[in-house]
Structure 1
Amino acid sequence: MKKLSIIGMPMDLGQMRRGVDMGPSAIRYAGINERLVRLFHSIEDMGDITIGRPEVTIDKESNLRNLELIAEKSELLANVVNKIVESGSFPLVLGGDHSIAIGTLAGVSRHYQNIGVIWYDAHGDLNTAETSPSGNIHGMPLAASLGLGHKLLTNVGGYCPKVKPENIVIIGARALDEGEKILIKNKGIKVYTMHEIDRLGMTKVIEEAIGYLKERTDGVHLSLDLDSLDPHDAPGVGTPVTGGISYRESHLAMEMLAEASIITSAEFVEVNPILDERNKTAALAVALMGSLFGEKLL
């Protein structure tokens, strides 16, 4: 049992569909504090990073959407997360689109020699300006954290890279761009696609991921995009991809991570209440947090 610090990052600058900026509010409305209060000595909800309503900009050189704004807001998040870790509290960040991971990892990884990352996502988020079909930065945070891409993104927090490719495990991938596939092979990044999850089962996948990361890391960050789950279970996401991880498989994954006690920071991203059904996706996010932090049925 330890302290938990919650910080909302209501940023929708990394993509084009409005609504994901309301993700932190939807998650709070779904009862995050009430769900987790029994699992920690204390919970501090630090409110939200102020994003405002900035105009959409496109960088002329790179064609990246909202580049400078995302870098600026990521610095703010990195500073807050850094202070949370320094205080001995567990940082839990609520998104917002997945570009917020740039700031989260910048704040977390400076405290570890070999931070590990579990990227629980339908997408690899390993694009750069050169490989991105859209110019949307929510498809680039893992690449930026590896030190790949525009320097404004890779240098958030004042250092680069944040994570080594051999310390990453992607779980649930089923929509990878060609440039991402090449990068995964070239860097030797460990990926469990839906094929592996179907074939091996989630128990084996998480057992292998835990064993793999325990060998080489001194802390593990969980970055969970709700679009990792099948849209039937999580309809309120901006980029749904059919054939995803099930509700029960995800709870099992979180329960096994809780038992292994390897997760040292986490973020839950891409909850979009405008696209949701009666806040179903935000409620699912809160339920998964319960499992991640040790909630048990008996």
Structure 2
Amino acid sequence: MRNALFATSAVLLAMAAPAIVQPAAAQNAPVEIRVDRLEKEMRAVQRKVFQAGTPIEAEITRPTTPTVAPGSPASTPIADLTARVGALESQLASITGQVEENSYKLRQLEAAFTKYKAENDARLAEPAPVAPAVSVPVTPTPTAAAPKPSAPKPAAAAPVASEARKAAVAAVERPDTGDAAGDAYNYGFRLWDAKFYPEAQGQLKATVEKYGSSPVASKAQNLLGRAYLDDGKPALASVAFYENYQKRPRGDRAADSLTYLGEALIQLKKPADACKVYQELEQVYGESLSNSLRGMMTAGRAKAKCS
């Protein structure tokens, strides 16, 4: 009787075991499917973010089964799977947020580059501010002022004035020190100092053409611009000053030419261009500017109302 009772109990337990296991398996199955789906989404996100290289390994892995102290309750498979699902969902949300942030920054960079390219193209399309278009003038032969109708013998005044000017120009001594380039410049300087501006312009222009590779060319070209400026020809002066600075940026009078270029542009009623010239003068020569040139630059900025 006792053996029959044990046999009956064993049969009942065997019949009840599938009923106990099946609910647990049914409970585990949705969580495992959820884990598989999240892992697939993680791999898809990594392929999207790391198109040019190998995706990074996920930092979240299946937690190692801890050593359970004797007498402590062991964690269930459902608890382990739930922890994995929570970790995967957190990692996926973090990567998704990073992708959105990177996309936003990329759009900002593209917009900034498009704006910079448009501004640069517009700036390159603008004409050079220091190369004004000018016509080549014909140097007039110095003559006396036109006489009034009532003045007697008006025709005799022009030859007298012309002869007097020729005699005055001839009285200017030509230096002869053996230094041909230096003598040519010094003679042009003496003509300019005597206020014979047209004659000085011709002499200085010839000096630059003949001795353009000599150190004296920087001084001659700068003085040529000043002769034009003093002669009331700011357009020609601006060209002479700009060419001297452009061709001889380290010449003796390069900084002088850039300073006087600002003055010429102010006389041409181009204050904005003059301000750009003064800005470049400060950037290129800075502390090396003499007190006189810095004073001219300060006064020029005030006249041009530079910011």
TM norm structure 1: 0.22
Structure with higher RCO (Cα < 8 A, 6+ apart): 1
TM norm structure 2: 0.22
